[in-house]
Amino acid sequence: MNTLHRGHRMGAGAAALVLLASAALAAENVDWPMFGFDPSRQGLSPTRFPSAKLQRIWSTPKPRALFTYVEGTSYWSCPCLATVEGEPRVFIGCYDNSVYAFDAATGAQAWAFITGDAVNATPAYAVIGGRPMVFVASSDRSIYALDARSSLPEHTTRRIWQLETFHWAHTVNPARMASPMVAEIDGRPVLFCGVWNNNQSGTENVQRGEVLALEPATGKILWRRLIGTGAVNTPCLGTVRGEPALFVPYEPGSIFAISAHDGRDLWATPYAAGEELMSGLSVAVAEGRQLLFLGGRTAWAYCVDAETGAQLWSTNIGTWVDSTPAFAVVDGRPIVFFGTYTYFVFACDALTGKEIWGYRTRGIIQGSPALAHMGDELVVCVNSLDNHVYVVAARDGRFVFRHHIGDFPWTHYLKGRTIWSSCVVGTLAGRPLLVVPSYSGVVHGFAAAASSDNAGPPRDSIFDALGEAYTIPLLIVVAVVLAITARRLIATRRS
């Protein structure tokens, strides 16, 4: 018997689309079993912290080795949280080619499994046929099903099955995998995963982006849909005319709506954004209408009608948006939240795209927001490239909490080609928990406590107050003025 995730919100408005994940064995447990919390990818957890006084309660050991900087590779994937036969667990992929299971109460390592390449995609957890399983999409072009239990029966291997999506022999390029999801379609569990296989060896040249639907118990391919030569980003699940639908972001600039039954097209034509898309998709119902939210690589955030593929609004953000938007209704108003490359986390009206507020950190926010309640208010949790995790109020963007999570280990990063992970929230063993991966090589766990590890808001300099758009022109003007002044002083001294 398959176990259903407690507290699942039908973000796509379809009662038939039920998330398959671990049931909380106690009523107070809330898992975060996949990227974006559930197939709608809304990033909203029913987790409730008693207050916003957060304290770091554990940090994991660093992985075995620090490799050199690799473009397009994160240190950690986004984590997923689950209660496995009463044991609280954090499952997370790493660029050291492994997927780890950590004890969510202490941060101690429970087990690790080595794949053939980096694991950048977020693992997905589900109980299939009574067996707790973790599904891992590795850059070695394979999808794995692993036994999630810490203690396995004698002569039992952790790997249940492995599907190689494209042959590895005599090839040179790793795959780029989207985060997998498990959902119930027509009464049976289905595992969905997007993959881009890129082979530029001397014998063949292949670029193939596709979506696979698999039987999670066995890895059997139910259907396989080719999208194009470009990469496929993380899809979400909703409906089109009552039929379960996967909405697939295609990196060259399109969104496809395909049937979850067989992969056929459900829109007359794909939605064309006209720009590179690195954002994942989220879907939600606002005022009876099913909406898709995403960001682009020029300066815009978008909203698309999920039934037709027609664009409803676009908002000029002024920078790249790789963050998958989160969604919540705050004081009766539907709002989307996302991070940007100008260091801001923004809240926009989900129906019009109008900006409600923006909070500026001190670094790029590429990861996706996680939403939960702390005390009596909904908060937005994000990781920033300034090496801190931030918590701000969802209603007005007011600062709530900040903590240093470790420094970036290399001397530089490539803008847009360095992947930053997202934090997640859940309630494990009856305790609300904020789990934060970092590029320092450590994963941190935060919980509510009597005293707080709050570092306070960052201090503003004059350049922080001006913002990045004005700082560089101002520095140029100051440099020119200083150069002219110095030249005149030299000329006066000579005369």
Domain ranges of the chain: 18-459
pLDDT at residue 280, rounded to an integer: 93
- Reply yes or no on domain 18-459 having CATH 3.50.50.60: no
pLDDT at residue 20, rounded to an integer: 39
* Angle at 129 (CA atoms; ends 163, 120), nearest 5 degrees: 40
The 8-class DSSP code of residue 219 comes to -
347 or 474: whose pLDDT is higher?
A: 347
Model confidence, pTM? 0.88
d(CA 446, CA 440): 17
Q: For residue 165, how many C-alpha atoms fall within 13 Å in the half-sphere facing its CB?
A: 35
Residue 13 in this model has a pLDDT that exceeds 50: no
What radius of gyration do the chain's Cα atoms show?
Answer: 23
pLDDT at residue 448, rounded to an integer: 96
| HEC assignment per residue over 175-210 | CEECCCEEEEECCEEEEEEEEEEEEECCCCEEEEEE
The 8-class DSSP code of residue 89 comes to E
Count CB-CB contacts under 10 A for residue 69. Answer: 14
Residue 368 in this model has a pLDDT that exceeds 50: yes
| 316, burial (CB in 10 Å: exposed 0-12, middle 13-18, buried 19+) | exposed
d(CA 389, CA 383): 5
- Look-up: residue for tokens 């881009």? 196
The predicted-structure confidence for 242-281, as pLDDT tens digits, reads as follows 999 999 999 999 999 999 999 999 999 999 998 999 999 9
pLDDT at residue 383, rounded to an integer: 95
pLDDT at residue 64, rounded to an integer: 67
d(CA 58, CA 174): 33
Closest CA to 325 of 384, 371, 392, 261: 371
Closest CA to 5 of 82, 76, 77, 57: 82
- DSSP for 130-173 reads TEEEEEEE-TTSEEEEEE--SS--TT--SEEEEEESS--TT---
Residue 21 in this model has a pLDDT that exceeds 60: no
The predicted-structure confidence for 82-100, as pLDDT tens digits, reads as follows 999 999 999 999 988 999 9
Distances (CA, A) of 59 to 94, 106, 163, 421: 15, 8, 33, 16
What mean pLDDT do residues 46-66 have? 89
Kind of pairing between the strands at 243-250 and 254-259: antiparallel
Closest CA to 50 of 407, 373, 284: 373
